[in-house]
Amino acid sequence: MTEQYETLRAAALGERLPVEARSGLALLQRRGMWAWAQVTATPRAQPSTARPCPLRTTATSDEQAVIRLFAALATRIHQPEEP
C-alpha cells in the first residue's frame, strides 16, 4: 500500500504516472483517500487462467456467402457510379 501511495504522491508532484496506477488515481480523485485506502488494502483475487479457444480456419458455406456479400458491398462503396 505504501508503494502505491508513493506512486500517486509522486504523480501529484509532477512525475509520470504508470499505466497500472491510473485506476488508483481515478478512485482517489473521485471517492477520496478513504475509499482508495480501503480498495488498496483489500487483497485482489487472482485472475483465472483463460482457456485457449479452438481456432477454426474454414468457414461454412453460409459464412462464405455472407463474407462474399460484405466484400461485394465494400468494394462497390468506393467505385463511382457509371452514367
Establish if 66 belongs to a structural domain. Answer: no
Sign, Cα dihedral of 39, 40, 45, 48: positive
Q: Which of 4, 70, 76, 62 is nearest to 37 (CA)?
A: 4
17 within a domain of the structure (yes/no): yes
Q: Is residue 70 part of a domain?
A: no
pLDDT: which is higher, 51 or 72: 72
Percentage of the chain modeled with pLDDT above 70:
81
Higher pLDDT pick, 53 / 19 = 19
Count the domains in the chain.
1
Collapse the DSSP code of 50 into the 3-class scheme (helix H, G, I; strand E, B; otherwise coil) and give the result: coil
pLDDT of residue 74: 79
Query: What single DSSP character describes residue 42?
Result: S
The reported pTM is 0.44
In angstroms, what is the C-alpha Rg of the chain? Answer: 25
**Structural domain harbouring 32:** 2-41
Is 22 part of any domain?
Answer: yes
What is the average pLDDT value for the chain, to the nearest integer?
77
In a domain, 49, yes or no: no
Residue 21 lies inside a defined structural domain of this protein: yes
The pLDDT-based confidence of 81 (bands split at 50, 70, 90) is: low
Residue 14, Ramachandran bin (φ over 0: left; ψ between -120 and 50: alpha; else beta): left
How much is the pLDDT for 50?
A: 66
Residue 12's pLDDT is what? 79
